[in-house]
Every structure is written in structure tokens, then in C-alpha cells.
Amino acid sequence: MLILGIETSCDETGLALLDSEHGLLAQQLHSQIDMHVAYGGVVPELASRDHIRRVLPLLDRVAEAAKRDVAQIDAIAVTAGPGLAGALLVGASIGHALGYALDRPVYQVHHMEGHLLSPLLSRPAPEFPFVALLVSGGHTQLLHVGGWGNYRLLGETVDDAAGEAFDKTAQLLGLGYPGGPAVSRLAEFGDPGAVKLPRPMLGSGDLNFSFSGLKTAVLIAVRRAGKSNVCEQERADIARAFVEAIVDVLVTKALRALDQTGLRTLVVAGGVGANAQLRARLQLELEGRGGKVFFPPLDLCTDNGAMIALAGLAQLKRTHESSVNGRQLGFSVHPRWSLAEATSS
């Protein structure tokens, strides 16, 4: 079965063709970073307009790269939420219009389910069950994943997401947008222990997270260093302290989740999953305890159509296995949408 995935939830336009037997055939991705960088963040109206310009040309390119005709598509998966309402409407409207024209089913999928399943596109791929650490600009969650559509929330952030903390720290350090990669690069030049930052909720006894206090601590550290007159080494020291703090919290909670579930496999997904320091620390910790950790390929850590096509396949599997279509496939989007609600039957 050939599935088209369409992703337009924020500032990346992604399309991909996934074969249920042969895997990912081709994907195309356009990032709007260069357009938004002048504003220091994503401008929703500009994002929506750019998606409109990009989707159909990318569809032609992905079909050409996969050596398939659009008429050969068997099903279409679109991101229905969460995300920017206008941006979501672009992908959903084009996906449903294409489904109507081709008389093909259209599956509305949850953006974070796409991220959650994206490591399954890597080789080797993890096997169910596993613990998933979802870390992005809008989400930080730990989940028990028992199979396709079988997700149980173990813990989540009570305020800000890890990726949001990266972006805010980058802004405070004058690194611009997007902040995550810039903070991580700068941290490599910092001196360990030069700046002390808290590890929020590290000893809370549960699997929840909190990063708003860490952002405040970074703000205080920047002010102590001299407001706008922070030297390069001081910025690097603050960046290193921030990265070490956030990695400590994510790794400790992830290992605790493995202990509580009795599982030995950890899957990391979402944009922050591309962070080099987090990857290195988790690899070291899991190897030391005889476990395994899986990451999506770096090009699948960002928003992309491949993960949406895979989430569409997951929904199709749930439908076929239960012989029940658990969701109405009407034309709608959900800017705010929980994963539990999206995957409930």
C-alpha cells in the first residue's frame, strides 16, 4: 500500500511516499527558517502562505523521486493537529481535496504520533514494547508504547517544553532563531562547573518535567554576567550549564521510566532528539545497563512528511486489526489535541 504523508503543522512543509512493504520511498521537505529568522520566531500568517506555495510542487517532486504516479497513491495521511490552525488547514485541505479527487481514504493523524513512531523508520528499528521520550518545542513526554496506537502516558512537562527552553535560552544569549542547535554548539566551548543551574523536578519522585524555572535561572545568570555586555566565554559557560542541566533531567527521568516499566528499550523522538549531548549521554547510559536506545535519523528529527505517512499507516493498522474505524475522517483540524484523544477508539 502506498501512503502519502503531508505535514504542515508549523514552519516545515513536508511530503513523503511510504510503501507498507518496502518502507520510505521518497520525501521532500522545505524549511521556512530563513523566512522567519528576521522575526525571531514563526509568524503564523507567513507560515500558512508559504505552505500554500510549496505543497503541490513538493508533491510533484516526491512522486518523481519515488518513481510513482500520484494516481497510484492508496491512502493519504495529513497532520490534523496540534499546530498552527492556518498551517494545519493548508495540508488538511489539500490532502482531503486529493483524496476526494482520487477516491482515496484520508487519515487525520496526530503530529506527535508521527514523531513518536519516526524511529521505526531507522534501521535497525526498535521492537514493541518500549519507552518513548518525546522532546520537542511544544512537548516533553514519556510514554509506554505497547504497539501501534497503544500509548500510555507516564509523565509530561507541567509547564514549558524542553525545546521551548532551548529557544528561550538562545534568545537570552543572543543566538537568534532557531535556538537549539546554536545553544548546543556554543555549549561545547563552555567550562564544566563554571555556572551552576538547577535540575528542576529531578527528585520529584514522578516522571513529570518542569523547565520554566530553568529558563528563569538562565535569565538570572545572564544578568549576573553583565546584561548586554556578556563575553563569549561567559555565554559558552551558561550554554554548557543549561545543556548539562536539561540533559541530566531528561536522561534521569527516561532511565527511571525504564526501571518502573521493566523495559530495556528507549526510543527518543522530536526535534530535541537531534541534540548531540543528549544522544551521547543516553547511548552511554543504556550501554552501561545492557539496554538499547533508538533515535530517528537526523533528517527525520525535524517535522517531515515521512513520519506522518507512518502515523497514517499506524492508524490503518488499527482500523484493519480491529475491523473498526475508530475516528471520523471529516475535514477538520485540531490546533490543541492530546495524543490520548487522537488515538482513542
Helices (H), the chain: 33-36, 44-66, 85-102, 111-117, 162-172, 180-187, 212-225, 232-261, 276-288, 305-322, 339-343
> By C-alpha distance, which of 46, 45, 52 is closest to 6?
52
Q: According to the model, what pLDDT value does residue 318 have?
A: 79
Confidence of residue 320 (pLDDT cuts 50, 70, 90): low
Q: According to the model, what pLDDT value does residue 227 have?
A: 57
pTM: 0.92
What structural domains and CATH numbers belong to the chain? 2-117+300-343 (3.30.420.40), 128-295 (3.30.420.40)
Question: Tens of pLDDT along 183-237?
Answer: 999 999 999 999 999 999 999 999 999 999 999 999 999 998 875 567 889 999 9
Residues 34, 38, 41, 46, CA torsion sign: negative
